[in-house]
Chains A and B, each alone.
Chain A
């Protein structure tokens, strides 16, 4: 069974600070996706990374896929209260046609 470990599980910081969330596995994934989920809603796709070493930027969010395609990170610059939510990483299993999700990082940005 492929597992994705996210860290930290909980993070509470002040507005304007920077943060990094990590997603690690011992398995290789064909792609890795990041989602953000707000209470009462389903997860919403933020980005998909496919190539080892790939870096994608989405405004203040920077996503990186590890060279070996086993891990990923999400860095947020100058966090804002609107960034509050549950961030989930998900790896696409090379053999099966489904996403394996990490347990999530619950992020709270305090004004």
Chain B
């Protein structure tokens, strides 16, 4: 596609439920990143994919968070047993390779009630 697509754009879930967030990167972009942005704050790194491997998952806050990527295509970020502190905008970005700027999606706004 022309840009990075994320779905859903908004998600309201009850505390304790699992959620799955999806990212479709730009075709041909081998690098894919997930970031979290809390209200009024900067971006917090979660995980980086090169192809379908994750060389850096150091930003995942807890073992409730996991992510996978199919080849050089779609990625899903899963949050199990959601907590209120998980409420944030989750942003996905892709890049042709290291050293290039990122193209971000519009994000998924997650609200845990």
Q: Give the B-binding residues of A (Cβ under 8 A).
A: 6, 30-31, 33, 35, 40-45, 48, 88, 90, 92, 96-104, 106
Q: Give the A-binding residues of B (Cβ under 8 A).
A: 4, 31, 33, 35, 40-45, 48, 50, 55-56, 91, 93, 98-107
- Verify B45–A45 contact, CB threshold 8 A: no
CA distance A97 to B47 in the complex (A): 10
* A-side contacts of B100, CB under 8 Å: 48
* B-side contacts of A98, CB under 8 Å: 33, 45, 48, 56
> Shortest beta-carbon distance, B17 to chain A, in Å?
24
What are 28 contact pairs spanning A and B, CB under 8 A?
A30-B99, A33-B102, A35-B104, A41-B106, A42-B4, A42-B91, A42-B106, A43-B43, A43-B91, A45-B102, A48-B100, A88-B42, A88-B43, A92-B98, A96-B48, A96-B56, A97-B50, A97-B56, A98-B33, A98-B45, A99-B45, A99-B102, A100-B45, A101-B42, A101-B44, A103-B42, A104-B41, A106-B40
Q: A43-B102, A96-B56 are in contact. List 16 more A-B contacts (CB 8 A).
A: A33-B101, A33-B102, A35-B104, A42-B104, A42-B107, A43-B104, A45-B101, A90-B43, A92-B98, A92-B99, A100-B45, A101-B42, A101-B45, A102-B42, A103-B42, A104-B41
CA distance A44 to B35 in the complex (A): 14
Interface of A is mostly: strand
> Shortest beta-carbon distance, A37 to chain B, in Å?
8
Which residue of A has the minimal Cβ distance to B101?
A: A45
* B-side contacts of A43, CB under 8 Å: 43, 91, 102, 104
Which residue of A has the minimal Cβ distance to B44?
A: A101
- Verify A40–B106 contact, CB threshold 8 A: yes
* A-side contacts of B48, CB under 8 Å: 96-98
* B-side contacts of A41, CB under 8 Å: 106-107
CA distance A6 to B93 in the complex (A): 22
Q: Which 8 A-B pairs have the closest CB atoms?
A: A42-B104, A45-B101, A103-B42, A101-B43, A101-B42, A97-B98, A104-B42, A98-B48
